[in-house]
Structure 1
Amino acid sequence: MTLDDGRPAPAPRRHLAVPLGAEADHRRLERALVAAGWTHCGAGDWAVALRSPDGLTAARISPFDPAGPYTAALYREAAHTGQVPRLYEHRRLAGGGDLQLLEWLEPVAADEAADFHRALTAREPQVAALADVVRRVHERGLREQPWFAPKVDENPDNIMRTADGRLVAADLFSADGPRLYATVLDDPDLVAATIPEHERRFMTELPMTNTGAWSPETLAAMRNGLAAADARC
């Protein structure tokens, strides 16, 4: 539903409605949602998604996502444009995980998504206000996070449609995964020095659905290297 001026109507009040303590991590949260009737509906490299029993809400759950707070900031700061998903709740999880509770979104055709991305990059009038917020929040991430991805993600899958027909940009920010995980192997002391252990405890538990899972040998090398680096701190 939208207002007469095209802005989305105020979001209904939604929350998880499952008991979740301060020490809940991504595993505990996922189990709690499944037990409450939520169903798995997707997975990427950084997160999995579950759909609420009524079909109106999605939970994006990541074991480790330094960019999560910036994505949530984009959704809040650009809400007036109607071109980002409604964010009902954002919560950091124990061990560096991230929860975003969003309105349910549907995919769009690749050409339609590409057109939206092109308009955003060119700051065309219909998306100029959104482009300004994207730039501002992305620059903030680059200043504050040493592993922030240098470019906005232009994956067509990040442009989606809401139940009331709006095209929205979702999940535009991420950590620079290739650089970060190469450094975990090559210089784990640098990673340990720049990301506190309590914020990267589960960084080797990403779904990696699109890129492909790490080999057992690579996982062991990353975990052992970080453990040794933590012991030296």
Structure 2
Amino acid sequence: MNDILDLLPPEATHRDAERVFTEAGWTPCGAGDWAIALRSPDRTPDRTMAVRISPFDPTGPYTAELYREAAHTRQVPQLFVHRRLVGGGDLQVMEWLEAVAEQEAIEFHRAIENREESVAELVDIIRGIHARALQELPWCGPLDQNPSNVMRGSDGRLVACDLFYADGPALYSAAGAQPEVVAERIPESERRFMTEIPLAASGPWDAAEREAMRVGLAEVDARR
């Protein structure tokens, strides 16, 4: 792992990260709206890992904080590496997770929502970090209760992942219609690649619309 990370320069972007991990033998294993995922070449039950690489993810540091703060509960993924990437990207290396049945995931989300005893300590950590994210992050969304955000670790336990997210529809609508508002609230260095998220679940995203958004933001940045 360290030898791969040593190949990432301090100014690495999401493109650099994907290239370096791919060249090291990690293979594509999924994509969502905000990030892609690659699977490690070592696929023994206790060594398989995944890397999540996002071009733009304002909530990445909060998610990483949750994984660290709640690690002792064993109800979040084991996080090995977290690194911010140039332009607002985010990289997380974590244990390999498997999908669970939708009903099982819904029940776990319900336990979190109701702060049931089995997840009470996890819930307190989630709520504390999320409350701060709501104060600090423009366009921070509510907790994500998508069933796909509950998965199973290699030891069989259920974990909650990717609970924090930016309100994409509102943020990108603002970027298209009022780029000056987005430029004022999010520094260029933290949104440089915001039009390069995969949108694998919600896409496709029209190329002309992406380009218009990039141009609009660039014009505002040039004036600022």
Same fold by TM (over 0.5)? yes
1:124 shift after superposition: 0.4
Distance in 2 between the 1:16 and 1:181 partners?
A: 37
TM-score, normalisation: structure 1 = 0.92
Uncovered stretches (5+) of structure 2, i.e. residues with no partner: none
Pairing 1:1-233 to 2, within 5 Å after superposition: 15=2, 17-18=4-5, 19-55=7-43, 56-149=48-141, 151-233=142-224
1:217 shift after superposition: 2.0
Deviations 1:108-167 (A, max 9, x none): 000000000000000000011111111111001011111211x10000000000001110
For 1:140, the aligned partner's letter is R
| Count of matched residue positions in the alignment of Structure 1 and Structure 2 | 219
Distance in 2 between the 1:111 and 1:47 partners?
A: 25
Structure 1's consecutive aligned runs of 4 or more residues displaced over 3 angstroms after TM superposition are: none
TM-score, normalisation: structure 2 = 0.96
Distance in 2 between the 1:216 and 1:157 partners?
A: 28
For 2:4, the aligned partner's letter is A
Say which SS state the counterpart of residue 98 (structure 1) adopts: strand
Uncovered stretches (5+) of structure 1, i.e. residues with no partner: 1-13
Distance in 1 between the 2:19 and 2:130 partners?
A: 32
For 1:72, the aligned partner's letter is A
CA contact 2:4–2:21 (8 Å) conserved in 1: no
1:17 shift after superposition: 2.6
- Counterpart in the other structure of 1:11: none
Bigger fraction of residues in helix: 2
Deviations 1:27-79 (A, max 9, x none): 01101111110000000000000001103110000000000000001001111
Distance in 2 between the 1:85 and 1:15 partners?
A: 20
